[in-house]
Chain A
Amino acid sequence: MAIKIICCKNQRCKTDQLDLTRLKSDLKRPNLELVQILDLCINLKKINLIYDDLVICGCDEKVIKSRLEVNRKKIVFAPIREECLWLYQDREACYKQVILQIKLALNRLKFIRKNDKEPLKSFNEKISHYIEIIDAIGPNPFKV
């Protein structure tokens, strides 16, 4: 199955400094495709439309993972922003670290299972049910 490597492009994250041409030639494999998306964090809908397995190069997974539709495909994050671009002053050392992070992410992608668990949405249900209960019994009489 094809794998798409999604690279975020953002000035503040310094991901715009990535040499994409060099990255493309260094990661040249038959089933890999490199795609750059501008401001990924505010354009997540584009990711949700892709059905291939993904390696997302940009911020740490905690930043956006919870907003992604993960059930249909395997998604792995290469946190190049926190682990490379914000750490290294030397561009060449930084690039080497980026390549390493992407390769490690590709290695992870080989072994992870698809997360087929559907969230139960029990949080929303339980809270709205409780709100109904409190609505039914009325406001707290101590409330002035």
Chain B
Amino acid sequence: MALGVILCRCNGMMENLDWVAIAEFLNKKKDVADTLILDMACSPQGQQDMVGFIETRKIDRVVAAACSPLVKGGLFQALAHKMGIPNQCLERVNIREQCSWAIRESGPALENAKIKLNMALKRLNKVKDIGHWQLNKAYINKLRCDKCKRCIEECPNEAISLGADGFPSVDGNKCVKCGVCLGGCPLGVISLPNFRLEEINGMIEEAAKSKSKPNLIGLFCSHAYEEADAVCAKSCPELVNLNIISVPCSGAVNMTLVNDALATGIDGVIIAGCEHSQCQLRRGNDYAKKRIANQQETLEEMFLEKERLIYMAFDENYTPSAEIDDRICSKCGSCELVCPFKAISYSPQENKMSVNPQGCRSCGTCAASCPAGAVKLSEACDEEILGAIDLLLGEGY
């Protein structure tokens, strides 16, 4: 196994990080084969350098410490795919938004970067190639499954059914890899292609070694992670105390992870997701809240404060919301029916359809389905698209 670390300085945008110290820290690690520092990993030159690095050093596991996975994460995934590295053997570390930008002081930012890198290295050390990443759906380890059927009951997409052998069987066409089955499995025998409990446990073990007090761990769904990124870009010194791990959905957090986190000395666990009924992956947040309530009772039975585990939804309100033109709206309710985030409802007091600005994520489903064309989005409208088409046709496309 050869583990390589790629560090991207993002064209000088992370000036508060001491790159020499980070490189020295990585050079001392026995499990790191080599480190590559780039000024801009996403540039054509940067990509060439990464290919050369992986080829010459025969790297088969990569830690990419750069911007948020939600910004240029796809680029590293494409690189891994090109180089024949399984997706699970790539770990992206968000040292830009959640480290350098969030924590402006260089000392704490450096310490935080080291913890994040340690977490990533530990995760990659725990990766086992059992081939299930190729399946692209939830994987159930039948050797350990006790056929309790909870996954069948809880799967929000009805992708799990009872197989002929009496074990649950996952339908790859229906599975959206939300991880709700994984979160509910009492034995923790379910895993996703990119999300195994052992790996996350390893990351938590490393996070527990942080010297910050209190030491918190955050298991954030992709939406909450995006909100965290947006806030962290303009500074968030609280992240000195909080290490965020991205999970597919808040419903994918198995309570064994919480138990293990508290057992390793983490002071508090935050599970962050969407508000009620706004889960894009369907009901994962509802399951998470129920499980957290149960787990809080268990914590109290163990004489631990229930506050050590908490569910949060941020509703950061950074996405411009859709607007409904009351003069045109016939109140047919089409928008309410199609809104995947349940952000539109009829208000009897005002006798109009109203949009919950915190719930709306500007997906545009309502605008596309409105027969009267009464819904307007701030960043896209029919006139703009028609204007763009005219422009393209005029340019000879």
Which A residues are within 8 Å of any B CB, using their own CB?
A: 10, 12-13, 39, 41-42, 62-63, 66-67, 82, 86, 96, 100, 103-104, 107-108, 110-113, 115, 117-124, 126-128, 130-131, 133-135, 137, 139-144
Alpha-carbon distance between A86 and B42 when the two chains are bound, in angstroms = 10
User: Are the C-beta atoms of A142 and B262 separated by less than 8 Å?
Assistant: yes
Complex interface: chain B residues within 8 A of A110 (CB): 384, 387
User: Are the C-beta atoms of B71 and A62 separated by less than 8 Å?
Assistant: yes
Complex interface: chain A residues within 8 A of B357 (CB): 117
Task: Tell me if B266 counts as interface (CB < 8 A to partner A).
Answer: yes
Complex interface: chain B residues within 8 A of A63 (CB): 67, 71-72
Q: How far is the CB of B367 from chain A (nearest CB, A)?
A: 13
Which B residues are within 8 Å of any A CB, using their own CB?
A: 10-13, 15, 39-40, 42-45, 67, 70-72, 97, 101, 213-214, 216, 227-231, 233-234, 236, 238, 241-242, 262-268, 270, 304-305, 307-308, 310, 312, 314-321, 323, 357-358, 376, 378-379, 381, 383-384, 387-388, 391-392, 395
User: Are the C-beta atoms of B214 and A123 separated by less than 8 Å?
Assistant: no
Q: How far is the CB of A135 from chain B (nearest CB, A)?
A: 6
Which one of A113, A128, A135, A142 has the highest number of Cβ atoms from chain B below 10 Å of its Cβ?
A142
Instruction: Classify the secondary structure of A's interface with B.
Output: helix
User: Are the C-beta atoms of B238 and A67 separated by less than 8 Å?
Assistant: no
User: Are the C-beta atoms of B11 and A10 separated by less than 8 Å?
Assistant: yes
User: Are the C-beta atoms of A12 and B391 separated by less than 8 Å?
Assistant: no
User: Are the C-beta atoms of A66 and B378 separated by less than 8 Å?
Assistant: no
Alpha-carbon distance between A82 and B318 when the two chains are bound, in angstroms = 25
Given A12-B45, A124-B238, answer yes or no on A112-B378 (Cβ-Cβ < 8 Å): yes
Complex interface: chain A residues within 8 A of B72 (CB): 62-63
Residue of A nearest to B44 (CB): A86
Complex interface: chain B residues within 8 A of A96 (CB): 395
- Given A96-B395, A122-B315, 20 more pairs with CB closer than 8 A: A10-B11, A12-B11, A41-B12, A66-B233, A67-B233, A104-B388, A108-B388, A110-B384, A110-B387, A111-B383, A112-B378, A117-B318, A119-B231, A119-B317, A120-B315, A131-B216, A134-B308, A135-B214, A140-B265, A140-B304
User: Are the C-beta atoms of B229 and A12 separated by less than 8 Å?
Assistant: no
Residue of B nearest to A67 (CB): B233
